[in-house]
Amino acid sequence: MSNRVGIKEGQNPLRLMAVLCALMGFASISTDFYLPAMPTMARAFHVGPGAMEWTIAAYLVGFSSGQLFWGPAGDRFGRKGPIAIGLVLFVIGSAGCAMAGSAAAVIGWRVLQALGACAGVVLSRAMVRDLYGPEKSGQMLSTLITVMAIAPLVGPLLGGQILLWAGWRAIFWLLVAVGITTGLGLATIPETLPVERRSQGGLIQAFGDYRRLAVDRRVLSCALIGGFYYVGVYAYVAGSPLAFITYHHVPAQAFGVVFGLGILGIMAANMANVRLLPLYGGWALMRWGVGLAAASGLAMAIVAATGWGGMVALALCCFVFVAASGLIVANSMARAMAQHPRQAGAVSAMMGAAQYGSGMIGSALISFFADGTPRPMALTIAFGGMAAYACLGLNGKGEGKVGHGG
């Protein structure tokens, strides 16, 4: 039994993919657009660079905790309704950031923005599982992530230009427009979770499912691998503006080029993942990705400590570490959801909460240990990569060449 709905006759698959990509992209566009503006915002609010990095940590607080609500809500009430409510919260939070008068106000509005944004991210992954089942969900997630990666590729470049011509507040007004446009697109696609397949218990019972999921070794190990990896990812997101703009004197308008190289790596790795999944299976590919993350993180720590290779060596290590997500994220998510197809929303939420909750730790460490050098970023990334590699032993052995991540 495949437990999938599939795309029905008369539905537009390109429109569906566009909306799913937009929803999955909210995690990145909410931060990547304003990364080049962080030093400018710090000067405008008369605070140090570490204070603005707390805006990322605050976002991750809302993003990780909110997923634990939206996942069960999507399993109980369907996908589209909760996503629509989340988009409203995202628009309000983005507008609040645009009008904020202090760094503390931005931090507060970022929490609300994140609570809304995470609804679309967590439930769009569940929609993929609804439509394509266990056999194809890993490949489709990789395909969508590849297309969606255009947002973080363009985001810093566009954000840098908006900063130059219109100021940092215009970046958040652009996010308001993105939220409204995505809501209009959501209205044009079908609900993917039929009433007969929805969870019949109340939300309290749905939240109880997390306890059962947490003792499933495969789900837990995938969550830990993704979580530790995201410690490094968000250490990079939070620390790269300081490392490249402040320390290595890369112009804010050119920072998007450096940041975009990593996104190109993600896209290439996801494209390779789609082709290699039928041959090697998601378990093997996930192991390769985690190995790359651990090795590049360790190399980055050495580069930052010694100064060897300068900015080029640092950027190369960042590129490899970030690109590894193309082999880690989709495969770990698909492997976990394959174990509990009727709780796909809850599994997606648990995985996402682990990832972005850990990302909060990564960005907070950067803020706390900020010393004006790339060292805190590099050491945190090395820790995340090595810890993720250590968690591979919890997953057990793979089951062969299974395309759904097994």
- Count of CB atoms situated within 10 Å of the CB of 212: 12
Q: What is the C-alpha end-to-end distance of the chain, expressed in Å? A: 17
pLDDT of residue 405: 43
Q: How many angstroms separate the most distant Cα atoms in the chain?
A: 60
Predicted confidence at residue 400, as pLDDT, reads 43
CB count, 10 Å around CB of 321? Answer: 30
CB 26 within 8 A of CB 186: no
Task: Give the helix, strand, coil percentages of the chain, each rounded to 5.
Answer: 85, 0, 15
* pLDDT tens-digit readout, 158-175: 888 888 889 899 999 999
For the purposes of burial, counting CB atoms within 10 Å of the CB of 47, is it exposed (0-12), middle (13-18) or buried (19 or more)?
middle
pLDDT of residue 404: 43
Closest CA to 315 of 230, 236, 235: 236
Is 80 exceeded by the pLDDT of residue 399?
Answer: no
Arithmetic mean of pLDDT over the chain: 82
pLDDT at 320: 95
Contact 12, 20 (CB under 8 A): no
Of the listed ranges 105-119, 122-136, 172-186, 229-243, the least confidently predicted one is 122-136
Is residue 256 predicted with pLDDT exceeding 60? Answer: yes
Contact 246, 39 (CB under 8 A): yes
**How far is it, in rounded angstroms, from Cα 359 to Cα 246?**
22
Q: At what angle do helices 217-240 and 310-323 cross, to 10 degrees?
A: 150
Tens-place pLDDT, residues 329-376: 888 887 887 777 667 677 777 887 888 778 878 878 887 887 888 999
pLDDT > 90: what percent of the chain? 30
pLDDT tens column, 99-129: 998 999 999 999 999 999 989 888 887 888 7
Q: At 80, list the tokens.
A: 């589209």
Q: Which residues contact 43 (CB under 8 A, 6 or more apart)?
A: none
Q: Cα dist. 312→262, 304, 376 in Å? A: 13, 11, 18
Q: Give pLDDT, residue 221.
A: 86
Burial 339-350 (b: 16+ CB within 10 A, else e): bbbebbbbbbbb
- The H-assigned helical ranges of 167-281 are 168-186, 203-214, 217-240, 252-280
pLDDT digits (tens, 9 = 90+) for 6-56: 555 445 677 888 888 888 888 778 887 888 888 888 889 988 766 787 888
